[in-house]
Structure 1
Amino acid sequence: MTEGLLIGELSRRVNLPAQTIRYYERVGLLSPPKRTVSHYRIYSAAAAERLDFIQKAKRFGLSLDQIKRLIDLRQDGVPPCADLKAMVKQHLAELDQHIQDMLNLRQELAHRYEHIEAALSNSSELPDEIVCNGKICGLIEQDIGDNPTST
């Protein structure tokens, strides 16, 4: 009888695919496990705890490199909390910027849709070449300030 968990058992316990567990080993997030005589991996309870930590850290929006940094700091005897604070602050700033970019994109797209709607106001007719003047679709190719009826 083996003491520990085979990879399939660990996978079910932590709700991660075995392939992900092996990947975490390869990138150094998880220490290589002991092996049976037949070379099966045998994982300890500490491996399950580490995988639980990795999953929780990912919910903070941390990358695997950032998670590895936190783990390495702790293994070196340094509490990683200050680094975590900086990482989360950076992630929040990036999210705020992404949200602002998405809001700007939405506003621009709504403005472009209004332009398209005005150009194609009579939906019973197919658009003519004057409105759709372009190599493929003038409504995309023209700058938003351009008048679709100008040539």
Structure 2
Amino acid sequence: MSKAFLRESDVEPEPTVVRPVLLAPGAKRYLTEAGAERLHEELNRLRTVERPALAGAAADLDAKRELRKLDERARELQQILATAEIISSPAPDRSIVRFGAKVTVKEEDGTTSTYRIVGIDETEFYTGGISFQSPLAQALLGASVGDRIQFQSPAGPRQLEIQLIE
């Protein structure tokens, strides 16, 4: 039977989407200053722009679902921000890769890539933000310009040379 012919009270709520836990129990959640600022901005936008816009259409079932998703994301952001340890930018000494650093590496085939080592809640594939827990970040942390690092990628072992630390 189509949901169009059911009363709202007869429709079962959609199951809550639970994101996988990426941190081990008791592990610290780290954020860069920029990442914390972006999450604060997202939370503020959800509260002041998106929620009020949806609240006006709360009689609509689709709007209710969207409002529920929005509220879940807001709670998730509050939890992240409440439990995160914000790490300030790396010291001016750019000779060693640290949390928050932007690192340019050269592949064995000569291509270069740039990565920024960030917390798990601010990883961004398209901008090169990689989690400090990733195999690549673990191999980069503590290395210096000119060092060759090896790590196990999903495609197999890789070797990279550090070109620049920003």
- TM-score interval for Structure 1 and Structure 2 normalised by the shorter chain: under 0.3
TM-score when normalising by structure 1: 0.26
Which structure's residues are more often helix, by fraction? 1
Between the two structures, name the one with larger relative contact order (CA 8 Å, sep ≥ 6): 2
Query: Based on CA coordinates, which of the two structures has the bigger radius of gyration?
Result: 1
TM-score when normalising by structure 2: 0.24
Which structure's residues are more often strand, by fraction? 2
